[in-house]
């Protein structure tokens, strides 16, 4: 065999392919954490929400300051997200009006980009596999109204 053929065999031998069942399990895990997040919010279920973020979650929204017209970033950490969920603001929206839709935009081995749409919000989530569990690392969101 030529060196090129040997190199190709070695490279292909290192390339692993996940089984279809394994990929489906991972996709289901990513979808589940996104559902826990948005449904937990609307239910006011702090325990459900608490399962979703990485401890260093960075959830952000851009707001324009009405006095200056300048944009500012409003940040929300994991603990505050759980606190706000427990206060139940999401429960004001009736279940039949929540219009929840989860789209996995991209996914690799331990990362996924997910769009969560609902009647009131759009969230773009960076979800990572952390210690064997899918969690939300970053979220950028916007109000629909």
Q: pLDDT, tens digit, for every residue of 71-106? A: 999 999 999 999 999 999 899 999 999 999 999 999
Q: Tell me phi and psi for residue 10, to 5 degrees.
A: -65, -45
DSSP 83-139: HHHHHTGGGGS-GGG---EEEEEEE-SSEEEEEEE-SSEEEEEEEEEETTEEEEEEE
State the pLDDT at residue 9: 47
Reported confidence tier of residue 7, pLDDT bands at 50, 70, 90: low
Q: Is the pLDDT of residue 113 over 60?
A: yes
Task: Supply the CATH classification number for the domain 19-143.
Answer: 3.10.450.50
State the pLDDT at residue 12: 44
C-alpha–C-alpha distance, residues 124 and 74, integer Å: 15
C-alpha–C-alpha distance, residues 35 and 42, integer Å: 10
Q: pLDDT, tens digit, for every residue of 12-45? A: 444 444 445 567 789 999 999 999 999 999 999 9
**Where exactly are the structural domains of the chain?**
19-143
pTM above 0.85, yes or no: no
State the pLDDT at residue 49: 97
Rg of the chain over CA atoms, in angstroms? 20
């Amino acid at each position: 065999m030529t060196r090129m053929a040997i190199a190709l065999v070695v490279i292909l031998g290192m390339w692993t392919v996940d089984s279809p069942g394994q990929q489906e399990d991972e996709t289901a895990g990513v979808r589940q954490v996104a559902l826990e997040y948005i449904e937990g919010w609307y239910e006011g279920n702090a325990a459900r929400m608490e399962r979703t973020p990485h401890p260093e979650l960075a959830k952000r929204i851009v707001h324009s300051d009405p006095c200056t017209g300048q944009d500012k970033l409003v940040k929300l950490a994991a603990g505050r997200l759980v606190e706000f969920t427990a206060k139940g603001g999401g429960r004001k929206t009736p279940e039949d009006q929540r219009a929840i839709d989860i789209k996995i935009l991209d996914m690799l081995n331990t990362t996924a980009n997910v769009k969560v749409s609902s009647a009131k919000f759009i969230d773009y989530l960076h979800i990572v596999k952390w210690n064997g569990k899918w969690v939300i690392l970053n979220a950028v969101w916007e109000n629909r109204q």
